[in-house]
Amino acid sequence: MFEVVAFWWKTRLKGPAARGLGLIVALSGLLLLGSQAANAAPNWTLDPTASVITYQSVKKNTIVETNKIRNITGTLSSAGDAKVTFDLNSVDTGVDLRNVRMRFLFFETFKYPTAELTAKVDPAAFADLATKRRVKSTLPFRLNLHGVDKDLEASIVVTMISDTMVSVASEAPVAVHVEDFGLLPNVDKLQQAANVTNIVPTASVSFDFVFTADGSKPAATQTAAASPADVGPVATDAAKANFSDEECLNRFAVLSRTGAIYFRPASARLDAKSRPLLTEVEGVVGKCPGLKVEVSGYTDSDGSPEANKQLSERRAQAVADAIVAAGIPRTQITATGYGEERPVAANDTPKNKALNRRIEFSATKL
């Protein structure tokens, strides 16, 4: 059964979505099992400093990228209720610009900052783990990602490291279809942003999660070797006081591609759906005090050039005003409308026209 699912995933999954989703799914399955397996203690907690999950994607047919989600928390109660939360803002590709693309363009963390897995574990399934020390199993679980719930399952190997420590590792990749979570359009955004047209899906997801019994020593103090630098939690943007100039430019460039600022038709009135991205933009501008940010407005070619230019100016000003209202100095923000100039697509279809109706952000030194 699992082999069939894995084959289906390879043939149907598209782009980096596969890597991000696959990793979350895989992670979910193991978590559940690991906790349950160690039935010697009433409650178990995931040790993020000793746990790791990696996933690979292939672009341009030959370029392989290995990525991780670094900040993971999880618990398993004595009743068998398992819950694991993934901080999608901790996506780690090894390159800041790629991290930002995955966060803002694929996962849309400004709206959905976390993914969550829940499951009910049957203690009887791991009753003999203490004697066997190693058990293989398939675990059903529910994954909440991008605001969508999906029932999945994972194939895992549970190993008792000690009476108070359990490892849950992948036996085989876990498949998730991006369309099930409404993420397929976001793969297109990634490809456009990276100027890549052939991102090849893979089923290469591996993980090793360590759970410790509540009240026992952390895994890091029980093992002789220290955790590698690339394992465990990492500081996210929220923890940073300010960004470097490069980090600022990366974020403005990617935020400009989200298409998540909305206006009423032929109006400069911001729609309430714009608030999540505006909040993200305000946070970035506030951590780039040495840069002056231009908010640029653009329209499609419907209507007269003069009317379009005026509309784009009003829309850009509305966004700039919202940023200033959040506490950003007005001297740091400018607004410019370019109308139907500089289209990013031909104005020949509704989809392309929507791409041209946009707000962009750019920055220069103060």
d(CA 87, CA 230): 16
- List the structure tokens of 169: 């590792």
CATH architecture of 240-365: 2-Layer Sandwich (3.30)
pLDDT digits (tens, 9 = 90+) for 222-240: 443 445 567 789 999 999 9
Contact, 214 vs 74, CB < 8 A?
A: no
- Distance linking the first and last C-alpha atoms of the chain: 60
In the predicted structure, residue 219 carries a pLDDT above the cut 70: no
Q: Compute the distance between CA of residue 226 and CA of residue 35 in angstroms, rounded to an integer.
A: 23
Provide the mean pLDDT of the chain: 83
Tens-place pLDDT, residues 122-132? 877 778 888 89
The model's pLDDT over 241-292, given as tens digits with 9 standing for 90+, comes to 999 999 999 999 999 999 999 998 889 999 999 999 999 999 999 999 999 9
Q: Determine the Cα–Cα distance for residues 347 and 186; give it in Å rounded to an integer.
A: 21
Per the CB < 8 A criterion, the answer to whether 150 and 24 are in contact is: no
pLDDT for the residue numbered 221 = 44
**Between 360 and 41, the higher pLDDT residue:** 360
Give the residue range(s) of CATH 2.40.128.110 domains in the chain: 2-238
For the whole model, what pTM was predicted? Answer: 0.84
Looking at residue 12, its pLDDT comes to 42
Q: Write out pLDDT tens, residues 73-109.
A: 998 887 888 898 999 999 999 999 999 999 999 999 9
Listed in order, the ranges of the chain carrying CATH 3.30.1330.60 are 240-365
Model confidence at 58, in pLDDT bands (50, 70, 90)?
A: low
CA angle 118, 148, 93 (to 5 degrees): 80
pLDDT digits (tens, 9 = 90+) for 155-213: 888 899 998 888 888 888 777 788 889 988 898 898 889 888 776 544 356 778 888 89
Instruction: Tell me the average pLDDT across 315-327.
Output: 97
Q: What is the pLDDT of residues 59-77, one digit of tens each?
A: 677 777 778 999 999 988 8
Angle, vertex CA 133, rays to CA 132 and CA 135, nearest 5: 75
Q: How many residues does the chain have?
A: 366
Q: Taking 70 as the threshold, does the pLDDT of residue 220 lie above it?
A: no
Q: Which CATH class is domain 2-238?
A: mainly beta
